Amino acid sequence: MRPATISVIRAGMATTIQDAGRPGLSASGIGRSGAADRGAYELANRLVGNDAGAAVIETSGALVVRIDRAVLLALTGASAEATVDSGAVLEAGPAAGARSSAATRSATGPGTSIAHCAPTSLPAGSVIRIAVPRRGLRTYLAFRGGIAVPSVLCSRSRDTLAALGPIVTDGSVLTIGDDPRQPVLVDVAPQRERPSVVRVMPGPRRDWFTEEAWVRISSGVYTVDQSTSRVGARLHGATLQRARRDELPSEGMVLGAIQVPHNLQPIVMLADHPVTGGYPVIAVAHPDDVAIVAQAAPGTSLRFATVR
């Protein structure tokens, strides 16, 4: 039988295919990439019963796709209005045959809303529309079976900096993988309000900056710039004055590293960050808080605090 497919009518904003990434290749100059909000990505896969590491769609909205077969899907991450146009029944809850105690609800007609953080069954021919998020920046759309695009270096993730992995454009056709043959164990996942405080710890070049600069980055408030991307989030706020003026040879960087270029404004390295950099790293965001930065839309204020 021909596999189920997703036809991309409108690719929307910053839409990519993402999975768990390409770990272990930094020595070859290749970053991990993968989902920018790892927690939301993992939850989306759990909600549809996928194997860990299955590929999903990451988008900043204005995405429109059509499915040619009945599917089970889930939306997580940034809260965005999502609707389905279909003349058939929409069911919220696990797909037929997937064991769960969840009751289902149904509705008919165009423009029916799709629940957030809950598995939803849609009939063949449904057109799914995901708006620009009301809060946050990146929404995750998982289909049971995962997105089965060709892998590059053992990952289906699009690395926007290294230009690795598939590109999603208007007219793209994405294949849905085989059913994972395991039950859906989560009916709904209530979400708490995401905190706005990002915990930081001293970076390897903390001593290249003044004490005042450290106080600012470890307790100040910065605003996310319009140019934020999967590579990094540029921030605006109090300048971070350097105590040393000499040039720094390129050295390794990790996810969450806070680099300070010549304009003295910090940049938080995100999923597609380079593996090395020549600007000093004053601090590093706590691994559990990198997603806060990844989900911060332009104009969002972020408060920093030291790890306790």
Q: Which fold has domain 197-306?
A: Cyclophilin (2.40.100)
Whether residue 49 has pLDDT greater than 50: yes
Q: Which residue has the tokens 């003026």?
A: 245
- The 10s digit of each residue's pLDDT in 95-114 is 433 433 333 333 345 679 99
Express each pLDDT in 267-284 by its tens digit.
999 999 999 999 999 999
Return the DSSP state at 206: G
Q: What pLDDT score was predicted for residue 109?
A: 54
| Cα end-to-end distance, the chain, whole Å | 55
Q: Which contacts qualify for 39-44: CB closer than 8 Å, 24 or more apart?
A: 39/291, 40/76, 40/77, 40/78, 40/138, 40/140, 40/291, 40/295, 41/76, 41/77, 41/140, 43/74, 43/76, 43/117, 43/140, 43/189, 44/74, 44/75, 44/76, 44/77, 44/140, 44/141, 44/142
Tokens 């390897």, residue located: 204
Q: Catalogue the E-assigned strands of 80-117.
A: 82-85, 90-92, 105-107, 112-113
The SS3 of residue 112 is: strand
**What is the predicted pLDDT for the residue at 110?**
65
pTM: 0.91
| pLDDT score at 185 | 80
Across the chain, mean pLDDT equals: 91
% of the chain exceeding 70 in pLDDT = 92
Average pLDDT over residues 162-168: 96
Q: How many other CB atoms sit within 10 Å of the CB of residue 110?
A: 10
Domain ranges for the chain, please list them. 5-175, 197-306
Report percent pLDDT > 90 for the chain.
Answer: 82
